[in-house]
Amino acid sequence: MIIEHITSHEFENGLKKTRCVVIPFGSTEEHGSHLPLSTDTIQAYEVAKAASRLIPLFVAPPLHYGCCRSTSKHPGTISISTNTLKAFLKDIVCSFHEQGMRQFIVFSGHAGSTHKMALIDAGEELIRQFLDISVAVLTEYDLAYEEGKELIETKGDSHAGEIETSRILHLYPELVKGCDEREFPSFPKGMLVRDKRKYWKNGVWGDPTKSSREKGERINDLVVKKLVEYVQFMENFVE
């Protein structure tokens, strides 16, 4: 059940089938010169929607902004603070809880460590506030990397590389503008730097030249399957 597409009556009836909702979190963030700024949002939202076609599941409208620290100086990246991110998640869960939801899967297409920690912190606060809910924080990219490891040729592939380029080629091929070159960032270990583009010129972390539409489809299907399994686990989870 895609929440932005259903009516109030359909929402009410849906609660008779499930109390689980996936909340996709993405970003508006550079992904090299070849992928759209909405890459993280697209991947998380499309996987959640595909899962909802297989099992009873609510899918919330995605949040298109995240905390983007490493790419903050690259053109097109629009970042929000961790406090804003946490407050948004907490407010959304509180409202969904009033509407009857009890299982919450925070599904992040953006894999930045600061971003992920903010979502986990908010989730920890929520499970202390509401004793009748379950909260999971999953990073969509981590699932893709783990489930697709037999298909991935590039060691350490990450942002705008082989995996993400393959998946956008599958999901929205018209949004892929050519193919950037292999690149990895060279941030000095432990240092917080102001000019992040100095150490990561093109904003690619991996090798997009190894991408293919077929590879993207296979990885996407594996992630959908894993999310379905996780929803089924969560609905039966008792702490």
Q: Tell me, yes or no, whether 208 lies in a domain.
A: yes
* 213 found inside a domain: yes
Give residue-wise pLDDT tens across range 40-78: 999 999 999 999 999 999 999 999 999 999 999 999 999
- In the numeric block, the tokens 């379905």 are attached to 228
Q: What is the DSSP letter of 56?
A: S
**Does some domain include residue 100?**
yes
Residue 239, pLDDT above cutoff 90? no
In 3D, which of 62, 44, 40 has the Cα closest to residue 203?
Answer: 40
> In which residue are the tokens 């972390």 written?
205
59 within some domain:
yes
Q: Is residue 239 part of a domain?
A: no
Confirm if 48 and 22 have CB atoms less than 8 A apart: yes
Domain extent for 60: 8-232
Distance of alpha carbon 104 from the chain centroid? 14
Please check whether residue 3 lies inside any domain of the structure. no
In a domain, 85, yes or no: yes
CB 136 within 8 A of CB 104: yes
pLDDT-based confidence at 235, cuts 50/70/90? confident
Provide mean pLDDT across the span 143-156: 92
Residue that has been written with the tokens 């912190």 in this structure: 121
Residue 157, pLDDT above cutoff 90: yes
- Is 48 in contact with 107 (CB distance < 8 Å)? yes
| Tally: H helices and E strands in the chain | 7, 4
Do 58 and 21 touch, CB atoms closer than 8 A? yes
Q: Count the neighbouring beta carbons within 10 Å of the beta carbon of residue 154.
A: 18
Domain annotation covers residue 140: yes
pLDDT tens for residues 163-199?
999 999 999 999 999 999 999 999 999 889 999 999 9
Q: What is the pTM of this model?
A: 0.95
- One-letter amino acid identity for 108? S
Closest-CA residue to 145 (of 135, 136, 156): 156
How far is the CA of 167 from the CAs of 4, 12, 164, 193, in angstroms?
24, 34, 5, 31
3-state secondary structure (DSSP) of residue 104 = strand
CATH at residue 42: 3.40.50.10310
How many domains does one find in the chain? 1
